[in-house]
Amino acid sequence: MLVHVVDDDDAMRESLEFLLGSAGFSVRLYDSAKPLLDALDSIASGCILTDVRMPETDGFELLRRVRESSRPVPVIVMTGHGDVPLAVEAMKLGAHDFVEKPFDDEALVALLRSAFKKTAASEPADPGLAEFKTRLSTLSQRERQVLDGLIAGDANKVIAIDLDISPRTVEIYRAKLMSKMRASSLSELVRFAVRAGIA
């Protein structure tokens, strides 16, 4: 299982090489998107783990070029904490998934293993997606409005102003909808929202 790591941060690349190597992955490092894109024709397998914010060619352009090449290589995008709109855009562009920095090591390894498993099985169906859509129908109108604000990347204060309610009330609706949707994190909620076509 080969992971192509693309990040312009030297320390991040070294850290990922150690982490992924320890987890049993083969790792190839790139300090920018250009060397990976130059070698794209020779990449027939593996998974690409790329930062989204890089000089010159960013993670979105890399993702577009990989998709255009029709290579069956899943791409996981790393975003900064709180970059929900970027994560949504990456998923719409065809990213297999995204992970927020700073990330939990075990969660990242699990995400990569999942990407390899789905690619090997060529299993496009996501069993959790139907459940997500069913749960979505249980949200109240106000909970759905708060969900839409969260998916747009708005802070609680912004959602409160838009809906003419207090930030504390937004927090209550947010807690309720997270519970109803059985989402353990905002990133998990966004992931399913994009796959369900509501983001």
Please write the tens of the pLDDT for every residue from 23-66.
999 999 999 999 999 988 888 788 999 998 888 888 889 999 88
Lowest mean pLDDT among 135-139, 159-163, 184-188: 184-188
User: Global pTM?
Assistant: 0.73
Please write the tens of the pLDDT for every residue from 81-112.
667 777 788 888 888 888 888 888 998 999 89
Domains and CATH numbers, the chain: 2-121 (3.40.50.2300), 127-195 (1.10.10.10)
Whether 50 contacts 75, CB under 8 Å: yes
The confidence band for 125, taking pLDDT boundaries of 50, 70 and 90, is low
**Pairs from 104-111 (Cβ < 8 Å, separation ≥ 24):** 105/19, 108/19, 109/19, 109/20, 109/23, 111/76
The residue to which tokens 């083969």 are assigned: 26
Whether 64 contacts 92, CB under 8 Å: no
The confidence band for 68, taking pLDDT boundaries of 50, 70 and 90, is confident
pLDDT, residue 119, reads 66
**Residue 36: CB atoms within 10 Å:** 22
Kindly report the average pLDDT of the chain as a whole number. Answer: 86
